[in-house]
Structures are given as C-alpha cells and as structure tokens.
Amino acid sequence: MIILGIDPGYATLGFGIIESVGNTQKLIKYGSIVTPKTERFPSRLKYLADEINNIINEFKPDAIVVEELFFQSNQKTAILVAEARGVILLVAENSSAELFEYTPLQIKQVLTGYGHAEKKQIQQMVTVFLNLPTIPKPDDAADALAIALTHARSNSILGRFKI
C-alpha cells in the first residue's frame, strides 16, 4: 500500500509518501510545498491543488491521509489553514485513493502510545519506524510522514481483526 500523508498549511504544506507492507514501512519521498508569498491567497490555493495533484499523479497512492486541524489561538491563521485544508480534501476526494483523517492526539497515541507526546518524540519515532539516519526536515515533512505512519500502523493493527 502506498500512503500519502499531508500536513496541511497554506504557506508550507508537508507531504510524506511511504510504502506499507504488513508491519513494515519504507520511505518513498518527503518534502514540502511552499506557496509564493507574493501571490494572492486564491492563487496560492490553486498552486497547492496543482502540486498535490502532481504528487498524486506521480506516486498513485492507495490512501491519502490528512491531519485534522487542532485549535489555534490565531483565528486568522486557523481560517486560512482551514481553507487550504478544504482544497486538500477536495483534491484527495477527486483522486482514486481512499481519504482518511487523524487528529494530532490519535497520531501521538499511535506512534508513541501517549496522546500528549512532544513533537520531538513524534519525530524520533518517525526516524525509528522508517529506519532513517536523521529526523526529516522541514518539520512539516516529518509531520506528514508521522501522519502516513499513523495510518499504516493503524491499518496494520485493525487488519488483524478483520473477519
């Protein structure tokens, strides 16, 4: 199974692509999409949609996994990220891949066993599960890989209980 994890953002969006076979996950690619700051917001959203489509067309994921939003103190930023997330969900829904969403709490719980784990702990688990020499950079990409790993590991566990 090829899994595309997405850490939503409108200025910087992280993505991570892994292959999952049983209990083993392998890194395929990770990175970030940075939208041009000089562009109008609608143009930035279109840029995100086009780039996500390019990634989907190149890697043909079986599943696309997006982090659900959590409360942010800056309402303007939260609204802009929510709008970007809407574009991401639309592009994902229009693809042939299945779409899944996980909360930050679920991601922390699956990867560390503790729902209030620190960001550094999550990043360290990403390096362990993918057998990487260092924590992936930028942080948005590491977060996207964590999201993809959450789905892979949840799917692996739930798959054992299918009748």
Catalytic residues: 7, 67, 140
Strand order in the sheet with 2-7: 24-34, 12-21, 2-7, 63-67, 98-102
Determine the Cα–Cα distance for residues 82 and 132; give it in Å rounded to an integer: 31
Burial class (CB in 10 A: 0-12, 13-18, 19+), 89: middle
